[in-house]
Amino acid sequence: MILEANNITVSFGKNTVLHDVSHTFKEGKITVILGPNGCGKTTLVKAVVKLHARSGELAYIAQDMYGNIGLTVRDMVALGRYDRTKFLIGESPEDQEHIDRALTLMKLKDKEERIFDTLSGGEKQRCMAARAICQDGSWFIMDEPSSNLDAVHSKLIMDTARELTDKNGKSFIIVMHDVNTAVSYADEFVLMKDGRIIRVCETLTADDLSLTFDTSFRSVTTPSGKSVFYTE
């Protein structure tokens, strides 16, 4: 399935957040959307989700999480199988297998009977990631999936994304703020500013970032040949 955004314009009252944005996301790749706060990243991914939600191939992890959910971690992950479960019977052994695998992958197996609301922010994010993995679609859209995570668990989520892309042919669209994490995992960068896509590239440069964020970026190359960006 090809995921396209064609001429999307989104306005809230008189305020236009997205100006005629078009982009075709690449299959089997990790695409990272970068840009300053309020540039329309979340609006763009929400628009893409709304356009393609009915395909049944999309798993979406929203940026905001609600309180007062009242479900256990396992129940939350099981919701990822909702559109595949039998109307009256519930989850099949195959569904249970998917749920178990997702819980194990996100290291939540020992917390499966905890109430979701009692988890820490990072555990909640891993739970939502497990729910998306359990959904088993071909596209994953993640809006700041590692904003509440420590370095170890942030790496866990991004390594899982890389593995699912390389071994299972899944495709990822990830909105994130951490430029250096993005550089380590992305196959393609979409840079946004003021409700427009200003550049699409496979390799990120300090000039691209300076232009996007209106601040001076520089980069150094580590002995392993990897670029690390920093602001002055």
The distance of closest approach from Cβ of residue 194 to another protein in the complex, given in angstroms and rounded to an integer, is 23
Report which residue type is found at 100. Answer: D
Residue 137 within binding range of another protein, rule CB under 8 A: yes
Distance CA 33, CA 43 (A): 12
- The answer to the question of residue 170 lying near another protein (CB under 8 A) is no
Please identify, using beta-carbon distances, which residue of 8 and 49 lies nearer to another protein: 49
Q: Where are the beta strands (DSSP E) in 139-195?
A: 139-143, 171-175, 188-193
- Beta partners for 189? 32, 201
Count of beta carbons in the 10 Å neighbourhood of residue 155: 15
Establish if 13 lies at the interface with another protein (CB under 8 A): no
Residues 99-128: x/- map of binding to another protein (CB under 8 A)?
-x-----------xxxx-xx---------x
Query: What residues contact 230, with CB distance under 8 A and at least 6 apart?
Result: 217, 218, 219, 220
Residue 75 touching another protein (CB under 8 A)? yes
In the complex, the residues that contact another protein under the rule CB under 8 A are 46, 49-50, 53-54, 56, 58-62, 64-72, 74-75, 79-80, 82-83, 87-88, 93, 96-97, 100, 112-115, 117-118, 128, 131, 135, 137
